Amino acid sequence: MRAPKRALCAAMLALEAVVLALSVPVMISVEDVDTGLAVGLGIGLAVLCVLTAGLLRRRWAYLLGHAVQVGVICLGFVVPAMFLVGAMFAALWALAYLVGRRIEADRARWAAEAAGPDGV
């Protein structure tokens, strides 16, 4: 059976990677950020999102996912609109994480109830 927390969090990170990659041209043309800095930050964070999504089988990768959210919010110091975008993604990440945990806990409880009082 598929792990709902991992699936939800990976989906959020994948979507976030797309938005971060698309933020590079905005940083360059609208905010007049140096091209190297814009590519380094935008693509760097996008790649980190994809790598983190692939590592979510490991427990510590969720901490890395939390750190990615902080990094995206901090991108707002370069592009002020990213404060809002980063906060929205952080909220979606937290929601995916918490809902995924809840689904997993409910599944475990249902499996225990179905096994009966003596665990058979």
Structural domain spans, the chain? 4-107
Distance between CA 5 and CA 11 in Å, rounded? 10
Prediction pTM value: 0.88
Is residue 73 within 8 Å of residue 44, measured between CB atoms?
no
Residue 108, pLDDT score = 86
> First-to-last CA distance in the chain?
20
List the structure tokens of 64.
């890395």
Tens of pLDDT, residue by residue over 43-86, are 999 999 999 999 999 999 999 999 999 999 999 999 999 999 99
